Structure 1
Amino acid sequence: MGRWTQYDEDDYRLPEGMKRTGYDADEGRYYFRDSAGGTWRSAEGSEYGGLTRVSGPPASVAGPTATDDDDLEAAPTYSNGYQLLNNDPNSTMAPKPHIDINASAYRTLFPFFLLIAVVLLLVWRLVLSPGLSTRESCCGNTKAYFVQPGDSCWDIAQAHGIPLDKLQTLNPKLQCETLLPGSTYQFSISVRTDNSHLFTDTKNRLLLQPLLISPTDLHLLVIYGVSTPLLSGAETHSPQWHSPETAAPVLSTMSNIYQLSGGGEPDVANDDTTTTLALTSPRATPTSATPTATLDQATVYGVSTSGVHKFLGVPYASPPVNNLRFSQPVVASSYSGNISANNFGYSCPQQNASLVSSFFHDVFHRRRATVSGTIQVDPTWTDVNFDDDNRPPESEDCLTVNIMRPDNSNSSSNLPIVVWIVGGGFETGTTYYYDDDAALLVRRSVELGEPLMYVSMNYRVSGWGFLASQETKAVNATNLGLRDQRAALQWINKYIANFGGDPSRVTLWGQSAGAISSSLHMLTNNGDPAGLFRGAFMQSGAPIPVGDITRGQVWYDQIVNQTNCTGQNDTLNCLRSVPYEDLKIVINRTPNYYDYTSLDLVWVPRADGDFLPDNPQNMVLNGTVANIPIVSGNCADEGTVFSLTSLNITSNDDFRSFLKFNYLSDVPDQNVSDVLELYPDNRNEGSPFNTSIFNAITSQYKRNAAFQGDVVFQAPRRFFVQQRFASQNIWSYQSSRGMDTPFVGAYHSSDLSYHVLDDYLIRFVTNLDPNNGTEPGWPKYDNSSKQILWFTHDNNDTGVQLSTDDYRVPQMTYLTGLGLAYPL
């Protein structure tokens, strides 16, 4: 593109009536306009002379047309060497008055003028406007705050003399990461029972969500596999969480929400042994239809809806805040007061995901690229709902359980229990998104004549739950997310009978990180479940090869450095005092599973010598495993969704670098070369599998997806079931449902989306056997037949067949060996 320079002076000789209009630096040519409007240019590299016509004058003034060879006589030159400029109207050499406009030059400069205007507008908005504005007051218990550049939620809380946690509790719509400088917000600073505490702007609008996919949105789509937003005809979810129509104080967790029976707020800052929960809820106004349960001296009030009794957001441990942050959970030992349990509790702080929604929007519109390159939209799926104003906000005060039972049951029903452990890559995860699916499962159990109770728990994730270092190991503050889960299981064992559940008939159920967690509970405590569970149903997750806790030291040190805790005698204790908002920002700077590191996770369970004494796969080899019945299976294309942010891998060298940087950093180069041969540069063999050359977003995408799905999900499952089949009853499966989904195939969590396993799960929870006498029967796994149940692409009852667990044997065997020798 030419770079033009306008001059207001000309020091070279020009023919009479000729005016310089610009200079093209790329061509090295000067451009001129004559008095008739014609355009001329100089020879390349010449300052003057050799002028040739480029275009003629406008038709209205054009005279005889000159040829390209026409030469123009040079204008007179004065003794000083400068040519008389023909822009002096008093000059005898001046042409008749004529206005020349270089339209091309002005068009080229237009974007720069526009940019300057935008910058000036922003300066006025962010700098000048705030200084001219004032803070406004509103009404009663609300305050107005004008956001200055650089303000945070901490500044808002400080300005009005309230704790940050309280500010966030009273204003659940408050999005601290997206405060808009120059905007005025109304927010509540004390408890109200009307709608005025909702967090709104001055136009009384709820705050908009960020444009990036939030972690909970992202996992709703590709990790959780929830059916409600993905499949047409799904049940509509109508939660009670701080809905604008029915807004009331959210009373579903502990210290920041409930009022102590003695008044005021609970103080856990200096007492990490306090486990008595004295809870009084102003909303506990039961009716004759309100389900209730007792917890020690407390009464729990739930909600009855669509055939299901729900008790939501019941705290099972003290809030892990202040000196309990980065500490083992303190299980509640007694309760008193009233508990309103009709809303989900807070989500634990989530790791921010880096992937924007546009690609997933296209994929889950079921857009299929044809050979000709055209796009056809499959209308059988509904839009993905990325925005959910009803989801619970995040808080460290998040350790709660949710209980659902059939509405014809009571405290003496003695129901078998399925305990759902949510997935999310150990970086995200909240129980809220399974509300509809859980209710559907409970109702289906009644239809099958095998009613059950559903229980789920929130647990700490990301850096809040899996901070790993020598410092955390020294005080047994390791694998806190797993310890939260264990604490919830202990709570269930103690209290679930009060809700009508049978604590002797508990089955763990998990998907992805939830399934991996379930398998690790089978290993801890020397493989003794301690009466907490009797079976495990694991979808896309098994014991993974993880190394020592100190492999996470680099991330601990990064967080310490970025929170100004470096040099402190006790850096872990220093981190406990860092303001929540500041710490969350720092943790979010670490990679997540949609960064280049992908499933080589930063925040993951690690061997700590306590909860996990060793690499979990070594423990499996040594037989340190709970001898209980299990179901373990996979989706066909586990790795596709995790390869979408590695699309810059476009060559064999790129793929090798990716492996060395992530999964195989400690592995000798020859072993890396072996892996490259086992996963060749061949689109026909990659994932989505069995799709020929199609769905190859890049030349290496399907190759990468095949490797990642095998190394994290497929190979660990096969290793686990083949090591344990002789000691316990095992059933295994493979799901190909949804394999025609463009680009991602039978993606990770698609088995949840299609509910292919619901009936098998219900029967397993009740009978510890997924079979019900129908065909085909689901045989137990053994190393001779290696039979598994295969859910084919046909989404109907006939789409179930028996198959053999013999695909990609050399690849998975090799990866298993690497995992034992070089754990992640």
Structure 2
Amino acid sequence: MKANSTLPALVIASFPSLGLCVNPLVNVTYSQYIGQPLASGITQWLGIRYAAPPLGNLRFAPPQDPPFEATPQAANKNGKFCLKTNGDPNTKATSEDCLFLDVYAPSNATARSKLPVFVFIQGGGFNSNSDPNINGSGLIAASNNSVVFVTFNYRVGPYGFLTDGENTTANNGLRDQRKVLEWVQKYIARFGGDPDHVVIGGASAGAASISLHMVANGGKDRGLFHAAAAESVAFPTVLTVNESRYQYDNLATRMGCVGNDTLSCLRSKTSRQLQKKNTNIPYPGSSKPPLYMWNPVIDDDFLMELPHTSFRDGNFIKVPAIFGDDTNGGTIFAPCKTSTKGESNQFIKDQFPYITAKQLEKLNELYPNPAQDLCPQSGCWWRQASNVYGEMRYMCPGFFINTELVRNGVNASYSYRWNVEDAKQMADGLGVPHTAEVDALFGPYNVRGPAPGSYYPNGTNAHAVPVIQGYWVSFIKTFNPNEYRCCGSAEWKPWTEKLGQRLRFDTGGETSMESLDAGLKGRCEYLDSIAVDLHQ
């Protein structure tokens, strides 16, 4: 299956050379792709195949090199994004043949331009591609057309993270991501980028992916990236291959694949057949399925140990980094009808099955229910559950990585809090929810689905867009967010272990530095102390 149509030879002949980005025709050795020059002075190449279709015997296998294409391909259409868990088996927006990337570059760049490269890893809890087809034009325009942008799809759910520990390789979704980073090293110069100046970015599971590439193979530096900018890094439950075996066995049973060769049986099924059974199940001993069951696992290869352990012991790649979060990162995850302390505790237990009753009791003490006086109103424990989940999975792990970077000699470690309030999100009780800053970072017209109204021109938070873009462009270009910051925004001071200072983005695009309050510090210290117990 091909993502793009081919162009006739007469059209191909109109592009005289293959080496320059001013020429939309770019040769990546296994194929040639014809990009689209835009009126903005940016050229986009959409739907570039970076790996072989993961079909047949390549299902549940590491990514392989893409096939040779003799005819130049029109890179004018996004590739379909990857099949998700709990997804509609009849949707045409997704496909198992989904390993495509997009490149955006200034049209006047050449193979000698050596522009900084920003590779963005989308989120989705490793169970979906939640931010496919982000348009990089807004961020490039904010840089005055001086960076190159890459985004891509990668396998998720069982397609990316199923393993039986014997016949299948684990963590293939992460291996897809590494395949892209290797592709960037080989080919990005042909689009005007510098393979020796690559910043990886990502949100949620994309930010988690950043942390996992930092600790991969025991922290071995392969030279694939040189700085990182992570929005809402996630520390989910991480199992060993053996601990995750129940997921494989359960899916095989549901698919009718029993006997001596369950893998061949699973590979013989159509993707539509698999999608009908691709649903989450509870962790052993839990009552309900977690929000995101399929996760990277410790395989003694890509992941050698728990991420928390790797960072604590200094077994990670030391690069300049941004790790930040949103004020109310848990509100979109906790069930809004959570009405009792028991329901709140059970929600946390379903996500983190190794948590003990004593640890839950301590969390209830650290996170008193803000709606206590209103109970037993339906949903009155929602915010308590969301506060625990938001800090346990997202906010505190970000502080932990910031601290470990500084302890290991990385002075360019930056933290932030996105506290930009949108009127509708506030009215819905979400506060400033998970990864809200992505809409501002890329610009409200460049993300999938409608962004909050306040981020559009003349909106309350329209000014927040150039502010965050200024910091990120500066970091992408110099590994320092201050060099090209815009609009009178505050100097972003690096993280220090003692002060725990971070940049606060406020409504309307206002910015200032703040130190962590004692309560947040205390909660994060406790969560850090039990992170290994929780298998984070």
TM-score (norm 2): 0.85
Give the C-alpha shift of residue 710 in structure 1.
0.8
Distance 2:231 2:374 in 1: 28
Show the 5 A alignment for 1:173-572. 251-252=2-3, 285-286=11-12, 291-296=24-29, 298-307=31-40, 308-332=42-66, 336-352=70-86, 393-429=93-129, 432-435=132-135, 438-446=136-144, 451-468=146-163, 471=164, 473-475=165-167, 477-544=169-236, 546-567=238-259, 569-572=260-263
Across the two proteins, how many residue pairs are aligned to each other?
Answer: 489
Q: Are 1:795 and 2:495 counterparts?
A: no
The answer for the alignment partner of 2:382 in structure 1 is 701
Alpha carbons 2:78, 2:133 under 8 Å: kept: no
Give the C-alpha shift of residue 642 in structure 1.
0.7
Give the C-alpha shift of residue 554 in structure 1.
2.3
Give the C-alpha shift of residue 544 in structure 1.
4.8
Higher relative contact order (CA 8 A, sep 6+): 2
Identity of aligned residues (%): 28
Distance 1:655 1:536 in 2: 34
Distance 1:392 1:764 in 2: 37
Distance 2:502 2:313 in 1: 25
Give the C-alpha shift of residue 309 in structure 1.
0.2
Change (3 A) 1:284 1:321: farther
Change (3 A) 1:291 1:626: same
Give the C-alpha shift of residue 331 in structure 1.
2.5
Distance 2:248 2:173 in 1: 16
Determine helix, strand or coil for the equivalent of 2:134. Answer: helix
Q: Are 1:754 and 2:440 counterparts?
A: yes
Distance 1:282 1:823 in 2: 55
Could you give the per-residue CA deviations for residues 259-288 of structure 1, whole angstroms, max 9, x where no partner exists?
A: xxxxxxxxxxxxxxxxxxxxx655993556
Report runs of 4+ in structure 1 exceeding 6 Å deviation.
none
Distance 1:789 1:708 in 2: 22
Q: CA RMSD in A?
A: 2.8
The answer for the alignment partner of 2:523 in structure 1 is 811
Determine helix, strand or coil for the equivalent of 1:820. Answer: coil
Give the C-alpha shift of residue 489 in structure 1.
0.6
Alpha carbons 1:542, 1:720 under 8 Å: kept: no
Structure 2: runs of 5+ lacking an equivalent: 16-21, 442-463
Could you give the per-residue CA deviations for residues 735-758 of structure 1, whole angstroms, max 9, x where no partner exists?
A: 111265221010011112233422
Change (3 A) 1:566 1:677: same
Could you give the per-residue CA deviations for residues 767-795 of structure 1, whole angstroms, max 9, x where no partner exists?
A: 11111276521111111222110112x21
Alpha carbons 2:257, 2:266 under 8 Å: kept: yes
Distance 1:282 1:697 in 2: 63
Give 1:668's match in structure 2, choosing from 349, 356, 374: 356
Q: Are 1:677 and 2:391 counterparts?
A: no
Alpha carbons 1:528, 1:626 under 8 Å: kept: yes
Determine helix, strand or coil for the equivalent of 1:754. Answer: helix
Give the C-alpha shift of residue 452 in structure 1.
0.1
The answer for the alignment partner of 1:715 in structure 2 is 396
The one-letter amino acid paired with 1:566 is V
Distance 1:403 1:485 in 2: 15
Distance 1:400 1:634 in 2: 28
Change (3 A) 1:306 1:427: farther
The one-letter amino acid paired with 1:349 is L
Show the 5 A alignment for 1:614-625. 614-625=305-316
The one-letter amino acid paired with 1:323 is N
The one-letter amino acid paired with 2:188 is I
Distance 2:7 2:279 in 1: 34
Structure 1: runs of 5+ lacking an equivalent: 1-168, 170-250, 259-279, 355-390, 685-691
Alpha carbons 1:523, 1:619 under 8 Å: kept: yes
Work out which of the two has the higher radius of gyration on C-alpha atoms and give 1 or 2.
Answer: 1
Distance 2:350 2:132 in 1: 35
Distance 1:610 1:602 in 2: 21
The one-letter amino acid paired with 1:400 is F
Determine helix, strand or coil for the equivalent of 2:298. Answer: coil
Determine helix, strand or coil for the equivalent of 1:329. Answer: coil
Determine helix, strand or coil for the equivalent of 1:821. Answer: coil
Could you give the per-residue CA deviations for residues 529-564 of structure 1, whole angstroms, max 9, x where no partner exists?
A: 311110000010155552313332222222101111
Distance 2:234 2:279 in 1: 27
Give the C-alpha shift of residue 818 in structure 1.
1.9
The one-letter amino acid paired with 1:291 is P
Distance 2:48 2:287 in 1: 38
